[in-house]
Structure 1
């Protein structure tokens, strides 16, 4: 039996005032709940708008720094390439010093084989000694230059590495912030697993100023190394020009001292010998490049087979997974490019074989003419002149 029924049986009437108060209080509470719901909903929307604005601004900040980093990375890459090309030039110049030095020493030794009455310390000997000292000095300078360029390339590559790492991190941060900007309350469930797996990772928070300073430092270091590279390249260019001029001047002075003992036929024979040496070297180079082409063809065929196999395997994906994604596009483009590369390499092999046959004909012709000229030369005129003829120092 309820309280109201008992009250009625006992003759007590219900307290309507209290009931009215309770009802009014309930209505007020419902109104407060409705207001609270609207207030929290409005606050949530405002906070989400603020979040999106800040995320958009953050993405723009990252994009700005990325452009700065990419520009500096492109510059340092170009500078590295220029330094590598210059290093190759200096290395070739250094290598080019070996033959003139060997010939100079050989001429000195050959002139010591003259009979005692003719073994005079004449002008030719003096010029040969100057030439030897000049070549040795140039070789020593060029060796130090190679080491300096190597070190500068290392520093440039270090700056390039830090720029690349910074760019990689900026890209990852941009992707994450873009994902955050696109995220909604309906999409967070799909990220729950990823969120849980990374929950234990430590937070390495830095201030916005520190974050910006990291990239500024990398850019400043790259700019400094670029400036150093430019200065080094200018110095090396000047040095190469000067050393080449000095060597050319000394070689010319020594050659002038020899000219009285050189006849026209010797010049022709020496030129043919030089050309023969180059032809033989080129024949060997053609053989080597043809082997390299065959190796390249094989390697490209292996890569092509791999790409084709991957395509075939990806066709076995479930029907719903058979999408023309970037991987599929890349693999199809890769097959086309590799096929084109292989065709070009095969064409190059055929052209190399034709060049080899032409070089062989030139070689036989040169050998025949050199043998004819050899019998026409005096021994004392040929030995030194024969070896000195290739010593022509051009600008490095």
Structure 2
């Protein structure tokens, strides 16, 4: 009935006003909600951009620090590798020096027993061997330390490079995020997965920076250790080179002095040998003269004896001791005595020549020994030692 009445009288103006008011209020509420939502989105986007930009700046700063430390550790590693090469070359020089030292000692053992003695050369060779062995042992320990530091430097380089790779990957994610806008995002394909849930395993930015800071700190420490080791190794190379060179020079001087002494002794022996040879020749000549004199005297003796015999054949009454006969007897006696004395002198000359010949043989043996010693020290050992590279580690 009310419905029929309402249809007869038309819409109720009061109800229409209420409906209009409600509609206006709803629209006003929607506008307010949209304005608040827009402000909230703008505020959130500004906050996101601020955090993202700060994150990008932090990553860029961290990247520069890491690149700087990486460059430093790479340079330090290269310098240390070059230093390691010097240490190994110095070690090779020491090993070659030891080989030459032993060769010289072995060659000098071939000297004859009279020359085989603990002279200054042998003493200096033994000192040189001890010094070189000590230096080689020290260089081996230094080489091990350098190798270990190179390993640590390379390990540090590996961790820095891995960290930089992660930083680069983070930049490839954060940089585009910082540049995104609402309009640019509309053209991009929406991710299908729900990204609102955080990953199960993650680290905070502070933890991530701490890891990088730790790698940087390790790089600084290894660079400091490497530089300290280089300073120590440079000092060791300089000192050991000086020690080995000093002893090598001392041994060389001992060789030179010994060679001078042997040459002087050999020259004196050769001078004496020359005199002995001359004297042997003189003895041979004097024996020839003695033999000639004996022959001559024997001729005179034969003549005197013939005269003596001939005069003894005179008749008995003619045999008397006249001055001629007395003179013949005296002549025979004197010539016999002369011949005897000449023969004694000739025998003495032969004995003298035997003594001289024995001295000649001994001198010749001694000269040969000296010549052999000179060949060993002045030729063989000198050639061995000249093959050694100058000790400049």
The answer, yes or no, to whether TM exceeds 0.5 is yes
**Per the alignment, do residues 191 and 394 of structure 1 end up closer, same or farther by CA in structure 2, a change over 3 Å counting?**
farther
Are 1:246 and 2:246 counterparts?
no
**Per the alignment, do residues 16 and 211 of structure 1 end up closer, same or farther by CA in structure 2, a change over 3 Å counting?**
same
The range that moved more, 189-198 or 49-58, is: 189-198
Are 1:183 and 2:180 counterparts?
yes
Superimposed CA distance per residue, residues 126-177 of structure 1 (whole angstroms, 9 cap, x where no aligned partner): 1111111111111111111111101001111111111112222122212211
**Per the alignment, do residues 112 and 235 of structure 1 end up closer, same or farther by CA in structure 2, a change over 3 Å counting?**
same
Are 1:29 and 2:14 counterparts?
no
Q: Distance in 2 between matches of 1:198 and 1:260?
A: 91
Are 1:257 and 2:258 counterparts?
no
Q: Distance in 1 between matches of 2:178 and 2:23?
A: 41
1:42: Cα distance to partner?
Answer: 2.1
Are 1:222 and 2:233 counterparts?
no
Are 1:43 and 2:31 counterparts?
no
Q: Distance in 1 between matches of 2:238 and 2:229?
A: 14
**Does the aligned pair in 1 maintain the 2:96–2:388 contact within 8 Å?**
yes
**Which residue of 69, 72, 82 corresponds with 1:72?**
69
**Does the aligned pair in 2 maintain the 1:251–1:391 contact within 8 Å?**
no
CA RMSD, 1 decimal: 2.7
**Per the alignment, do residues 8 and 391 of structure 1 end up closer, same or farther by CA in structure 2, a change over 3 Å counting?**
closer
Across the two proteins, how many residue pairs are aligned to each other? 280
**Per the alignment, do residues 149 and 201 of structure 1 end up closer, same or farther by CA in structure 2, a change over 3 Å counting?**
farther
Q: Which has more radius of gyration?
A: 2
Equivalent residue for 1:161? 158
Q: Which has the higher contact order (CA 8 A, sep 6+)?
A: 2
1:25: Cα distance to partner?
Answer: 0.2
TM value normalised by structure 1: 0.65
1:190: Cα distance to partner?
Answer: 6.2
Q: Distance in 1 between matches of 2:147 and 2:64?
A: 29
Equivalent residue for 1:89? 86
Q: Distance in 2 between matches of 1:386 and 1:117?
A: 24
1:13: Cα distance to partner?
Answer: 4.5
Q: Distance in 2 between matches of 1:94 and 1:193?
A: 67
Q: Distance in 1 between matches of 2:162 and 2:194?
A: 24
Are 1:126 and 2:117 counterparts?
no
Matching of residues 350-365 of structure 1 within 5 Å: none
1:19: Cα distance to partner?
Answer: 2.4
Superimposed CA distance per residue, residues 329-388 of structure 1 (whole angstroms, 9 cap, x where no aligned partner): xxxxxxxxxxxxxxxxxxxxxxxxxxxxxxxxxxxxxxxxxxxxxxxx973331111101
**Does the aligned pair in 2 maintain the 1:248–1:392 contact within 8 Å?**
no
**Does the aligned pair in 1 maintain the 2:93–2:389 contact within 8 Å?**
no
2:11 counterpart SS class = coil
Structure 2: any 5+ residue segments left out of the alignment? 261-372
Superimposed CA distance per residue, residues 287-334 of structure 1 (whole angstroms, 9 cap, x where no aligned partner): xxxxxxxxxxxxxxxxxxxxxxxxxxxxxxxxxxxxxxxxxxxxxxxx
**Does the aligned pair in 2 maintain the 1:84–1:153 contact within 8 Å?**
yes
